[in-house]
């Protein structure tokens, strides 16, 4: 687990975790980190979403300035952790990610000596992290959680959610690697990347605008996770759930894509985030995009202000 310089530049390092044997492959995960310049025993662990990886350096810098050692995990078969011959972002059960999250937390707590860890989960990172926290509740892996547009339900018509998703999930049990027709809309990627209508740069071989083919096994894994979450979790740590004021689903790029969540239905987030535990705070971000920290201003500043205010209720030392 020797640390080396990361592609994000000065102050960022990375280390490989693993290997983890999954479906006959030796998989690795990549822990990216940026420490506080002053001594701190508080940390953040960030989990990215689907067809995503950690590139939001400004988020890391914000947490570091607030007194937190920052860590982000590129999950196996994702971003920095994708290896030749692997299907990008493929999994058959979200529990597959448990070993690498445990390994990351061992580095954060045992190796680096952090006493408190905030989980910061975006989109699909939320069901992954939430179910890990639930399944390891006795160890209390996270002292608090910040959810950024958590993926708690499929954004589809009620008939598709009631019928089609279940059919695909059943297919995924027997033909997990089956690629599904269609694909993700390019609108969200276009609203984020600076080569189109966005403000940000990222590696489009790791996060292609048009996405990667979605596999039936992945749909099954997400469907099973959603069923557990929607039935209710019993997390007792403080949870901040952030989501946009509106959703939209334009077929081609429109300006509304830069003022709304084009991936998830915010009504689902509002509904199901209340099932996560006993101490959930919801915060709506006006004109927020799906990845709220990539929103246009002034929404982006509203996100950071909301996180700062909430963290201050837990820890008066946040700068």
Least confident of 175-184, 192-201, 261-270, 297-306: 175-184
Residue with tokens 């995009």: 289
Kindly state the average pLDDT of the residues 289-296: 99
Q: 94: cis peptide before it, omega within 30°?
A: no
Kindly state the average pLDDT of the residues 40-62: 98
**In 10 A of CB 248, how many CB atoms?**
15
Higher pLDDT, 107 or 174: 107
Q: What is the pLDDT of residues 3-16, one digit of tens each?
A: 899 999 999 999 99
Q: What is the pLDDT of residues 228-282, one digit of tens each?
A: 999 999 999 999 999 999 999 999 999 999 999 999 999 999 999 999 999 999 9
Kindly state the average pLDDT of the residues 167-190: 90
| 84-113: burial string, b at 16+ Cβ within 10 Å, e else | eebbbbbbbebebbbbbbebbbebbbeeee
> Which among 247, 241, 260 has a CA at the least distance from the CA of 192?
260
What is the model's pLDDT at position 160? Answer: 64
**pLDDT of 122 strictly over 70:** yes
**In 10 A of CB 141, how many CB atoms?**
21
Query: Rounded CA gap, 273 and 184, in Å?
Result: 24
% the chain with pLDDT above 90: 90
**pLDDT of 202 strictly over 60:** yes
* Residue 164 pLDDT level (bands cut at 50, 70, 90): confident
Higher pLDDT, 269 or 181: 269
**pLDDT of 100 strictly over 90:** yes
Q: Which pair of tokens denotes residue 224? A: 């099973």
Kindly state the average pLDDT of the residues 221-225: 97
pTM: 0.96
**pLDDT of 19 strictly over 90:** yes
Least confident of 19-33, 65-79, 168-182, 222-236: 168-182
% the chain with pLDDT above 70: 96
Query: Rounded CA gap, 57 and 270, in Å?
Result: 28
> Which among 111, 99, 98 has a CA at the least distance from the CA of 71?
111
φ, ψ at 163 (rounded to 5°): -120, -60
**pLDDT of 318 strictly over 80:** no
| Average pLDDT for the chain | 95
Q: Are 17 and 103 in contact (CB under 8 A)?
A: yes
Q: What is the pLDDT of residues 56-85, one digit of tens each?
A: 999 999 999 999 999 999 999 999 999 999
Query: Rounded CA gap, 24 and 20, in Å?
Result: 10
Least confident of 101-115, 173-187, 195-209: 173-187
- Under CATH, to which class is 4-314 assigned? alpha beta
């Amino acid at each position: 687990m020797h640390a080396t310089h990361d592609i994000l530049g000065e102050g960022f390092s990375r280390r490989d975790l693993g290997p983890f044997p999954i479906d006959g492959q030796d998989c690795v995960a990549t822990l990216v980190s940026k420490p506080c310049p002053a001594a701190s025993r508080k940390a953040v662990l960030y989990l990215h979403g689907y067809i995503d990886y950690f590139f939001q350096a400004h988020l890391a810098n914000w947490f570091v300035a607030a007194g937190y050692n920052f860590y982000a995990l590129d999950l196996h078969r994702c971003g920095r952790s994708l290896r030749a011959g692997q299907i990008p972002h493929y999994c058959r059960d979200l529990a597959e990610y448990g070993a690498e999250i445990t390994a990351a937390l061992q580095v954060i707590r045992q190796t680096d000596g952090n006493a408190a860890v905030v989980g910061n989960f975006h989109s699909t990172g939320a069901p992954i992290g939430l179910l890990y926290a639930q399944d390891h509740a006795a160890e209390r892996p996270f002292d608090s959680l910040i959810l950024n547009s958590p993926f708690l339900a499929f954004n589809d018509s009620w008939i598709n959610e009631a019928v089609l998703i279940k059919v695909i999930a059943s297919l995924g049990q027997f033909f997990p690697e089956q690629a599904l027709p269609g694909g993700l809309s390019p609108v969200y990627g276009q609203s984020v990347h600076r080569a189109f209508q966005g403000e940000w740069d990222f590696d489009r071989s790791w996060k292609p605008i048009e996405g990667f083919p979605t596999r039936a096994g992945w749909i099954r894994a997400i469907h099973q996770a959603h069923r557990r979450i929607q039935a209710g979790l019993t997390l007792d740590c403080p949870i901040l759930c952030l989501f946009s004021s509106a959703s939209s689903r334009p077929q081609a790029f429109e300006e509304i894509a830069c003022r709304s969540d084009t991936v998830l239905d915010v009504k689902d987030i509002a509904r199901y985030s209340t099932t996560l535990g006993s101490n959930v705070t919801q915060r709506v971000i006006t004109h927020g995009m799906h990845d709220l920290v990539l929103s246009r201003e002034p929404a982006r500043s509203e996100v950071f202000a909301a996180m700062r205010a909430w963290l201050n209720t837990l820890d008066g030392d946040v700068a």
